[in-house]
Amino acid sequence: MAAKIQSLDEAPNLPMTGAAYLPGVAYDEMFAPGGEVRGHYAPLQSRMATLGASALADRQKTLERSFLLQGITFTVYGAGSATERIIPTDLFPRIIPAAEWAKIESGLTQRLLALNMFLADIYGEQKILMDGVVPRDLVLGAPSYRREMQNLYVPHKSYANVCGSDLIRGQDGQFAVLEDNLRVPSGVSYMLANRDAAKRTFPGTYREAGVRPVERYPDLLLATLKSMSADWRSDPQVVVLTPGVYNSAYYEHAYLARLMGVPLVEGRDLVVHDNMVYMRTTTGLRRVDVIYRRVDDDFIDPLTFRRDSSLGAAGLFNAYRAGNVVICNAPGTGVADDKAVYAFVPDIIRYYLGEDPILPNIETYLCREKSQLSHVLANLDKLVVKAVGASGGYGMLVGPHASAQERAEFAEALKADPGNYIAQPTIQLSTAPCLVDGRIEPRHVDLRPFILSGEKTIVTPGALTRVALKRGSLVVNSSQGGGSKDTWVLAEENGHSNGNGNGHSNGHKGNGQ
């Protein structure tokens, strides 16, 4: 991979010109292979060209300052003191044209529909296992499979109400699904914060481009959560359950609670009595109907799951089983985003919907199969190997970037427990221009759109674009030094004046405000 990694002197000085920016072998979001700017990037390109290095640096600084003030930070504990760091964020938006988005949207809707049907099936009649489409032991043996969920009524058969899928764009320019996140996906607050910042950084360009708004996410989330509660509860009480202020996503939990206008509770605020869930308020106990939990399955109820957890509420799961409270996402959804089950998602889609998948999977080798294991072991230097149970970029080997010793160590681990690993070809993620140390350089990006599913399924027209800030790195996880940038989904094809660099608006009106 990475046959042609950008070298520093190839990077353009500012103001940037297309000719000096060499994206390398990966698909570049902004430049076509011939060096010309892709049509949907033209308004941004003309703005970038007029801004000098210092103007861009100023804007980047303003952006970072605003994140710091809002408290969009994580804490780094150092010698005797704690300092606040912002999540790195890049000021150039990533732009997706309307037609491409239409395909992503229908593909994600199809996929989540099938995955929810899969969950309803395996926690119900298990037809798909009986028909041998997905191996029985793979599902029932997965640590994320929750026997406790068997035969439980879930409204609208919507197990995963909030989903954040990771898409990548390969060298051929096609989007594919890398991972489904059906447990407690995070990042949506960065999508909203990035949008807020982008509107202030490039207001004219934003208006001219015709960008679809993402600001409705909180109220759509609330409507989705409410649609999960029982009909007879009028005006259901929704709460957000957070592990607390030391959780790395706490900012997001508080942000969503604030924008939905619902209480942000911790486990210690909840009391279960007679299979009803209450929260302790200043005026006594008050009934809770829907819990949007941002706590992992294992920790929500010490009586049912991990006994040492103090993050949940004792008796919560029984109240859920009794139908007196709704937990979103439902416990046990993790089995559908299991890295080994992932390989079967195209079959799952065909099985339930009778359709071909709109968005392809990445080719995946299951090391539990002997023949595939030997292929993986023979090609470790070309593959990415992932532990089935791990996430966040941990427990992962990027073959082409690893040393011979690292590969040898990983090979031993693979042979010892092949069922725990899958492998995929190393995908050259697409690149997008980023401001790095005063230069505009290509960096690899992925795409995390957010899908809501309750009574209806809604794909938010926007996403979190995660950026691997290290040159040449393919790992975008924030725990591994990744950053993010805003993602503009255009309302209509070529919703801008093509290549017009003088800021003349051609009168296109997007939905974006």
Partner 1 sequence: MMLARVADSLYWLGRYIERAEHLSRLSSVMLNATLDQTDSGVQAVWIALSAVGDSETGKVSPYDAALALVLDRSDPNSVVSSLTMARENARQVRDQITTETWERLNVLYLRVTDPNAEAEFADNSVAFLHDVIADVHLFKGAADATMSHGESWRFMMLGMYLERAQLVSSLLEVCFAPAPGREINDHLALVSLLRMACALEPYLRVYTAEIEPRHILEFLVFDEDFPRSIRFATSRIEEHLATLARHVEAAGRAAPERLAGKLKARLQFADVDELEAGGAGSLLTAVVNECARIHEAIYETFVSYPLELRLPA
Q: Where does this chain touch partner 1 (CB under 8 A) — which range of 5-13, 38-46, 282-290, 447-455?
A: 282-290
Near partner 1 by CB under 8 A: residue from 5, 33, 61, 71: 71
Closest CA to 217 of 177, 255, 251: 255
284 binds partner 1, rule: CB under 8 A:
yes
In terms of CB distance, is 81 or 502 closer to partner 1? 81
* Least distance in angstroms from the C-beta of 227 to partner 1: 22
Q: How far is the CB of 245 from partner 1 (least distance, A)?
A: 5
Q: Is 68 in the site for partner 1 (CB under 8 A)?
A: yes
CA angle 224, 228, 233 (to 5 degrees): 120
In this chain, which of 263, 360, 400, 481 binds partner 1, going by CB under 8 A? 263
My answer on whether omega of the bond before 329 falls inside 30° of 0, hence cis, is: yes
- Measured from the CB of residue 71, what is the shortest distance to partner 1 in angstroms? 6
β-sheet bridge partners, residue 442: 433
First to last CA, the chain: 41
- Sole binder of partner 1 in the list 7, 151, 234, 282 (CB under 8 A): 282
Q: Is 426 among the residues that bind partner 1 (CB under 8 A)?
A: no
Nearer to partner 1, 285 or 413 (CB): 285
Does residue 234 bind partner 1 (CB under 8 A)?
Answer: no
Return the residue of 58, 84, 219, 381 that touches partner 1, per CB under 8 A.
Answer: 84
Helix (H) or strand (E) holding 196: helix 188-201
Q: What residue type is assigned to position 41 of the chain?
A: Y
Q: Does 398 help bind partner 1 (rule: CB under 8 A)?
A: no
Stretch that binds partner 1, among 18-26, 161-169, 251-259, 459-467 (CB under 8 A): 251-259
Distance CA 425, CA 146 (A): 31
φ, ψ of residue 389 in degrees (nearest 5) = -85, -5
The DSSP code sequence of 197-231 is HHHHHSHHHHHHHTBPP-TTHHHHHHHHHHTTS-T
**SS3 per residue for 269-303:** HEEEECCEEEEEECCEEEECCEEEECCCHHHCCCC
Is 85 a binding residue for partner 1 by CB under 8 A? The answer is no
Helix (H) or strand (E) run with residue 366 in it = strand 365-366
**CA-closest candidate to residue 273, choices 331, 326, 319:** 319
322 binds partner 1, rule: CB under 8 A? no
**319 scored as a contact of partner 1 (CB under 8 A):** no
Residue 233 makes contact with partner 1 by CB under 8 A: no
Q: With contact defined as beta carbons under 8 Å apart, do 96 and 430 qualify?
A: no
Q: Which span sits near partner 1 by CB under 8 A: 3-11, 104-112, 120-128, 274-282?
A: 274-282
Q: How far is the CB of 442 from partner 1 (least distance, A)?
A: 34
Q: Which residue's structure tokens are 């994320």? A: 144
Quote the least distance from Cβ 362 to partner 1, whole Å.
Answer: 38
Site for partner 1 (CB under 8 A): which residue of 148, 269, 369, 492? 269
Q: Tell me if 314 contacts partner 1 by CB under 8 A.
A: no
> What is the C-alpha to C-alpha distance for residues 460 and 453, in angstroms, rounded to an integer?
11
List the one residue from 51, 230, 254, 413 that touches partner 1 (CB under 8 A): 254
β-pairing verdict for 396-398 and 439-444: unpaired
Residue count at the site for partner 1 (CB under 8 A)? 32
Tell how strand 290-293 and strand 238-241 pair up. Answer: parallel
Give the number of other CB atoms < 10 A from CB of residue 495. Answer: 22
Tokens representing residue 453 in the block: 């599913």
Do 427 and 400 touch, CB atoms closer than 8 A? no
> Could you say whether residue 50 binds partner 1 (CB under 8 A)?
no
What is the smallest separation between the CB atom of 422 and partner 1, expressed in angstroms? 39
Distance set, CA 345 to CA 134, 154, 349, 364 (Å): 9, 22, 6, 11
If the CB atoms of residues 200 and 470 are measured against partner 1, the closer one turns out to be 200
Write out the DSSP string of 137-173.
Answer: HHHHTSTT--GGGTT---GGG-S-SEEE-EEEE-TTS
**Contact residue for partner 1 among 216, 280, 382, 456 (CB under 8 A):** 280
Among 245, 322, 390, 408, binds partner 1 (CB under 8 A): 245
> Is it true that the peptide bond before 15 is cis, omega within 30 degrees of 0?
yes
Nearer to partner 1, 22 or 285 (CB): 285
- Residue 135 or 263: the one with the smaller Cβ distance to partner 1 is 263
By CB under 8 A, tell whether 250 contacts partner 1: yes
Binding of residue 286 to partner 1 (CB under 8 A): yes
Q: Which is nearer to partner 1, 68 or 140 (CB)?
A: 68
Is residue 354 close enough to count as binding partner 1 by CB under 8 A?
no
Position 271 contacts partner 1 (CB under 8 A): yes
Residue 192 to residues 211, 285, 481, 505: CA-CA distances in angstroms? 14, 33, 20, 26
178 touches partner 1 by CB under 8 A: no
Which residues lie near partner 1 (CB under 8 A)? 68-71, 81, 84, 245, 250-251, 254-255, 257-258, 263-266, 268-269, 271, 273, 276, 278-287
